[in-house]
Structure 1
Amino acid sequence: MRRGEEFAGAVRKGSRAGRPTLVAHFGMRAETDEPPLVGFVVSRAVGGAVTRNRVKRQLRHLMRDRLDRLPRGSLLVVRANPPAASARSERLAAELDVALDRLLRRREPSAAHRDGR
């Protein structure tokens, strides 16, 4: 994800799942046949340039293995919180999985809606 409108669409109009080291924002585009887009936000609050780039590389690597879980047409923004600077990769992976599970579970219609109740 590279365009500001895409980031803004996911953050403002999408759903959010927060964890201590990161917050994930999930939205959908109008063109649902497009591949999912993922963007990362790592602010100065996380640390200096070297630390921010390391965190961003870790998150990018972790998301690469999880892209197939995202539906087509989705927008995902992963924002790192300051504790991400000192978190091990395993912790970031676990918290990313929890956040994605929450967001994707919210997106699925409940069983009551599918049964027509």
Structure 2
Amino acid sequence: MLPSENRLRRREEFAAAMRRGRRAGRPHLVVHLTEGSDPHVAEGTPPPPRAGFVVSKAVGNAVARHRVQRRLRHLVRARLSDLPAGSLVVVRALPGAERAAFDQLARELDAALERLLGGVRG
């Protein structure tokens, strides 16, 4: 489970991250990243990075979708410290993600984030 302050909840936040952000596609997922300040956070405090997930019915049945979402949530949680403050990240699973191994999803997420962050990740 992601901490409450690191979750995207509102449709507008998902839409903003997907429309205004950059994206990197991989065979089983697409990562959208918007860097910048969150208008809903008070001035002077560095806002934490926030993440959301989109796993459609094209991925599989409910059991498969929840499994994919749990895997992606676990992977993103481990990488939150690498994300810039105030960034919004949306990870969208593609059909076939339910058949991908956990390690493969991890490699694809790392490659997408590496591309989006320009190689600055530690």
Band of TM-score, shorter chain: 0.7 to 0.9
Q: CA deviation at 1:83?
A: 1.5
- Displacement, 1:30? 2.9
TM-score, normalisation: structure 2: 0.83
Counterpart of 1:4 in structure 2 is 11
Say what the alpha-carbon RMSD is for the aligned residues: 1.5
Deviation at 1:28, TM superposition (A): 2.7
2:33–2:88: 8 Å Cα contact kept in structure 1? Answer: yes
Gaps of 5+ in 2: 1-7, 39-44
Per the alignment, residue 51 of structure 1 pairs with: 64
1:105 to 2:112 alignment: no
Structure showing greater radius of gyration is: 1
User: SS at the partner of 1:79?
Assistant: strand
- Give the one of 60, 63, 88 matched to 2:76: 63
| Structure 1 residues 27-42: aligned runs within 5 Å | 27-31=34-38, 33-42=46-55
Aligned length: 107
- Distance in 1 separating the partners of 2:35 and 2:81: 15
TM-score normalised by the chain length of structure 1 = 0.87
Where in structure 1 are there 5+ consecutive unaligned residues? 109-117
Percent identity, aligned pairs only, is: 59
User: Which amino acid counterpart does residue 20 of structure 2 have in structure 1?
Assistant: K
More helix by share: 1
SS at the partner of 1:65?
Answer: helix
